[in-house]
Structure 1
Amino acid sequence: MTESNKLQPDQMVIEWDVPITMDDGVVLRADIFRPAGPGRYPAILSYGPYGKGLSFQDGYSTAWKILEDRFPDAVQGSSNQYQNWEVVDPEKWVPDGYVCVRVDSRGAGRSEGVIDCASPRETQDLYDCIEWAAKQEWCTGKIGLNGVSYFAANQWRVAALQPPSLAAICIWEGYSDRYRDLTYHGGIRSTFPRDWAEMQVQTVQHGRGEKGPRSRLTGALVCGDETLSDEELAKRRVSDWKSIVGNPLDGVSYRERSPDFSKIKVPLLSAGNWGGHGLHLRGNIEGFVRSASEDKWLELHDGEHWAEFYTDYGVQLQKDFLNYYLKGESNGWTSRPRVQYRLRDVHGKFEDRTDSAWPLSNTVWTRLYLDLVNNQLSGTAGDADVTSSFDAMGDGIDFLTAPLSEPLEIAGPLAAKLFVSSSTDDADLFLVTRVFAPDGKEVLFRGALDPNAPLAQGWLRVSHRKTDPALSEPYRPYHTHDTHEPLVPGLPVEVDVEIWPTSIAIPAGYRLGLSVRGRDYEHNLDVARLSNMKFPMRGCGPFIHNDEQDRPSGTFAGTTTLHASKTQKPFLLIPTLPKSR
């Protein structure tokens, strides 16, 4: 929206705290932004736990500052007074004939009830909010869902329930599999869900009242008018973390908080972030590939997790998609290629490309074998019986290619086959794909949250090595995570490790690397901080695996050994693109 057609106050009607009563009598509250005057419009709805009355600028100050400084188009053409974390800016949507509906999820903000994040109860609430909005006098009956992260992840689940009025979903950086994408990476527990709940959910829980913030727009208490004690507040939330700790294997708890892809048939645009290792990449791709919808598109960008959603590029992409399915505009949307992605380079730039499929239709699957003697990656495998060991909770071993004789382009999922033994009955593997400049300095990339991140990451607890043959692909092993298979100390086993997708154009003279580690990657640069994150970030963002209860030293502090022989040939599988491009 340009300065000349910026929304004027009399062009938008705002209704604060509109009640929506659920089937069990719990009342949720919504803020509604709609065009002034009579008429019916499609609605963009979001439902989440971050407090609809908390401004982006107040609740996420460092993220907002980055948005202002690095993405000026994201904040231009709006007064930004209605900006709210990870949902659409009504000033950029209402003038185009949309109603924007923001609902505080159950137990959060100004909505009463008990918080139970990502639960079936929340999914049913979202379903009911969709159908409620469709019946309002200002609505055409068509509802679209749009938003980032939590506001995206819940779209997968509710779409599987098939609400009649849901016309399209735009899932912008939202995980889909609660076990594999969020809580247990390769079977190794991530502490991010614990810290996220403390920093971003409990701080705006309904009932904090005077202990919480006030809306800079209305002056209302963001967390409701009632002020409860800490003990009372604790009784009104279900502990995500206790459930995660109590369920180290995949099962009912995770499946009921993850979608049945076979039932998702609504048109969808899934937008993932190449830098989203640890939360918002794998799920966007899996959701695109596995959903039953015939009308589905995948977009892959880079940069800060929250930023591209608000840029002119992001807003226009969302509008092109939603205008077609919610308004019926003949804008050529369905003629677009099904996959749109950015091929990154080592200088922080990118090239926009398209394709018809995922993995990309012209992928050349290439094996780089691990030379355990010289710590190299090469196109040929040796036959000698060789082992190489490292501290099972240490920095591991780095394998590097020779300097590339010609440029190399990679885009898609990666995987590794290893042969591993341990001095104990288990081991954790942290695989990090890396790029090194001719001077030996590592090239780091802007992650979704961490400004300095490696190229790609993958994880596996070796006792979780069992795979599902029906869902596994050579380039993306799918681990069942439904049983522990302890190791016999000293006896090697074959493992396939999923490494989340990436893209990179590597110049000649650079090196590609694979680190096989026993702990999270860390760089040696200054740490980064965000106001909504509990700890400083050292290369993996907040997606770390340092829970001592999950990784007791008696099991995980031994020695891990890699094996190679005539019949055991460890390799890294990479998705190279043809040189003719």
Structure 2
Amino acid sequence: MSQFEIATKPIDKPSEGVNGYAGFHPGKTTLLEKGSTREGWDGERTKALESDILLEHDVPLIMRDGATLYTDIYRPADATGPIPCLVMWSPYGKRYSSINMLPVTTWRCGIRSEDISGWEKFEGLDPARWCPRGYAIASVDIRGSGNSDGKVQIMGAKMGEDGYDVIEELAKKDWCNGNLGLAGNSFLAISQWHIAAQQPPSLKAIAPWEGCGDLFREQFVRGGIFEISNMDLINKLIIKGNEGTEDFAEMYDREPLHSPYWADKRADMKKIKIPAYISGSDFSSIHTMGSIRGFWDCQGPKWIRWSGRQEWHDLYVIPETNEELMDFFDHYLAGKENGFVKNTPKVRWALLQGGDRDAIENIAIEDFPLPNTDYREFFLANDGKLSTSSPAEPSSVSYLSRGEGKGVVSFDIRFEEATQLVGIPKAIVYMSTEDHDDMNVYITLKKLDKDGNTLMHMTVPRVRALAPSHADIAEKDRTSLLLHPGSLGVLRASHRHIDTEKNVHPNWPWHPHTFEEKLKPGEVVRLEIGIWAMGWQYDAGEGLRVEIGGGHDMNHEIRHFTMKFPAEHTLNKGNHVVHFGGEYQSKVILPFVSI
């Protein structure tokens, strides 16, 4: 029994014709014929199937508590013996595909109808690619979604147990060789940490692409600041079920500090002993540090590939990413000696360039962070500069933290020679306010061109982009799916306490978030703020800006779906003052490398 009561909210019930739902048909089998296509966007057709595929509808799987979950299973029609199975795990609906989701995104993330079959579960592997390779794909309606029993619970040990039971039930099927894997993006990646930590015997390998590892620290209450993230969009448009879904806004109202409820949302990755093929990027607003911690903590054979492309584009458009993933699963699930282990670098990184330049990708490096990283300190100084030494005399600058006229303060440095920054940066800033008993502080590291203009990274490669540079994108289309302004650090001042014994890296402080230390008017406090990983290349004459403010400047792709904002007392108020020089040695620590 759960040690905490989980709040739920109503969601729409499954309805035929909505999100690909085609009714409830246990026992039905359909032959999807080679060469067949589906309706895509704007009158286009989807990718044609390369071979015949058997689709088993709504296969029931019984959980340890008696609940029934349902899955669709896609299998190659010409299979002559047992085959491995890859499980796609999310509440998004067994038939909810990219065809349903991508029209609400800018440029559909550069994905065309011809790139997908429309049979893929959104963010999951496409049966059109994988069944011809000799795999079954199980698209599961997790507990509470679709016609599966119960209420939708997002991550945690209970969901992990369901994943364990589903994997072991599928392993018993006569068409299965007993070797199962997990794969997919975002929710389908996060869930892999929780399921694999339960150690189901038949789970032989995982491939989490962009997977948050801690819903409190990395998604909903990052730095102690609540944001509903993309859950209102997901609940409104995507998840359908009969009994409701977990309500994170209500749970935050009940438990605004870290608690057993939130601890259950952090997977224990050190319990994962099987092979893991991990993908991540600098520019996910949720998943960056979870992907890195997964690489650090997983105990089995592991690889990490850092991408310069938006995660869905990477999965559905780029042939090489699927081929390499197939080699990984072929080795660990099908037993093929294909050279994957010997030939695949353990760590590959990407360097972002910004502007009209794509990322430089697939750079093999020794480890992450690089063992020979040169961490250099740059101090906030007068005239908006960064300096290698702190000013002798104290000074300060301020910004309006919220509302009309909201501003930022910034500090710049120009690099005289070509420079690469790869690793985990950190900021230490001394700040105060006369206007409130708390501050929500956001620090962004931005790239500058030779003329001092900011450069963003466009996550869709130029060959599929509908604008030549980020500067040509309309303001309404500047979403966090498409553009990356730079790595971000976030902290609520009352959550500034650090448990140094739990720091996983010198530049990544562990804030327990279990109590608050409110501010007195004018009190200057030291804020140590971990900034999410970065990988940027700078030409001689280009520069970096440290921008400090009361928020971040990107439009989330889901902002207009947000239904419940945090309470007024959790928001910023009035001016924030940044102190530097003298006794206030405010600074940023940057990771210099040569790769």
The bucket for the TM-score relative to the shorter chain is 0.7 to 0.9
- Identify which of 423, 430, 438 aligns with 1:419: 430
Question: What does residue 397 of structure 1 align with?
Answer: 409
Inter-partner Cα distance in structure 2 for 1:271 and 1:486: 38
Matches within 5 A, 1:351-500: 351=360, 352-371=362-381, 373-393=382-402, 394-401=406-413, 403-423=414-434, 424-446=436-458, 449-472=480-503, 473-500=505-532
Question: What does residue 575 of structure 1 align with?
Answer: 591
Unaligned segments of structure 1, at least 5 residues = 208-232, 537-541
Letter in 2 for 1:363: T
Q: TM-score, normalised by structure 1?
A: 0.84
User: Is structure 2 residue 355 aligned with structure 1 residue 343?
Assistant: no
Change (3 A) 1:512 1:114: same
Matches within 5 A, 1:204-243: 204-207=239-242, 233=243, 236-243=244-251
Inter-partner Cα distance in structure 1 for 2:482 and 2:91: 26
Inter-partner Cα distance in structure 2 for 1:161 and 1:193: 27
User: Is structure 2 residue 336 aligned with structure 1 residue 329?
Assistant: yes
Inter-partner Cα distance in structure 2 for 1:58 and 1:438: 42
- Identify which of 32, 48, 56 aligns with 2:90: 48
Unaligned segments of structure 2, at least 5 residues = 1-33, 36-46, 460-478
Report how far residue 122 of structure 1 moved: 2.0
CA-to-aligned-CA distance 1:25-46 (integer Å, 9 cap, x gap) = 2221111111224311111011
Inter-partner Cα distance in structure 2 for 1:122 and 1:309: 25
Coordinate RMSD, CA, aligned: 2.5
Report how far residue 459 of structure 1 moved: 0.4
Secondary structure of 1:483 counterpart? coil
The 8 Å contact of residues 117 and 240 in structure 1, kept in 2 or not, is answered as: no
User: Is structure 2 residue 69 aligned with structure 1 residue 28?
Assistant: yes
Inter-partner Cα distance in structure 1 for 2:245 and 2:108: 32
Secondary structure of 1:334 counterpart? helix
User: Is structure 2 residue 291 aligned with structure 1 residue 284?
Assistant: yes
Q: TM-score, normalised by structure 2?
A: 0.82
Report how far residue 62 of structure 1 moved: 4.3
Question: What does residue 512 of structure 1 align with?
Answer: 544
CA-to-aligned-CA distance 1:32-61 (integer Å, 9 cap, x gap) = 111224311111011211111233213432
Secondary structure of 1:117 counterpart? coil
Percent identity between matched residues is 27
Inter-partner Cα distance in structure 2 for 1:354 and 1:425: 47
Change (3 A) 1:59 1:494: closer
Report how far residue 103 of structure 1 moved: 0.5
Inter-partner Cα distance in structure 1 for 2:536 and 2:336: 36
- Identify which of 298, 301, 304 aligns with 2:307: 301
The 8 Å contact of residues 395 and 517 in structure 1, kept in 2 or not, is answered as: yes
The 8 Å contact of residues 60 and 85 in structure 1, kept in 2 or not, is answered as: no
Question: What does residue 557 of structure 1 align with?
Answer: 573
Change (3 A) 1:446 1:550: farther
Secondary structure of 1:324 counterpart? helix
Secondary structure of 1:189 counterpart? coil
CA-to-aligned-CA distance 1:137-192 (integer Å, 9 cap, x gap) = 11111110001111110110111111111101100111111111111111111121
Letter in 2 for 1:314: T
CA-to-aligned-CA distance 1:502-538 (integer Å, 9 cap, x gap) = 211111222210111012225xxxx786xxx3529xx
Letter in 1 for 2:553: Y
Inter-partner Cα distance in structure 2 for 1:194 and 1:322: 31
Number of aligned residue pairs: give it.
522
Change (3 A) 1:63 1:407: same
Secondary structure of 2:532 counterpart? strand
Change (3 A) 1:436 1:65: closer
Letter in 2 for 1:330: E
Secondary structure of 2:501 counterpart? coil
The 8 Å contact of residues 468 and 479 in structure 1, kept in 2 or not, is answered as: yes
Question: What does residue 475 of structure 2 align with?
Answer: none
Secondary structure of 2:498 counterpart? coil
Secondary structure of 2:331 counterpart? helix
Report how far residue 63 of structure 1 moved: 4.7
Change (3 A) 1:6 1:237: closer
Report how far residue 7 of structure 1 moved: 4.7
Inter-partner Cα distance in structure 1 for 2:102 and 2:394: 54
Inter-partner Cα distance in structure 2 for 1:362 and 1:112: 52
Inter-partner Cα distance in structure 1 for 2:268 and 2:60: 30
Report how far residue 474 of structure 1 moved: 2.5
Inter-partner Cα distance in structure 2 for 1:86 and 1:253: 27
User: Is structure 2 residue 233 aligned with structure 1 residue 196?
Assistant: yes
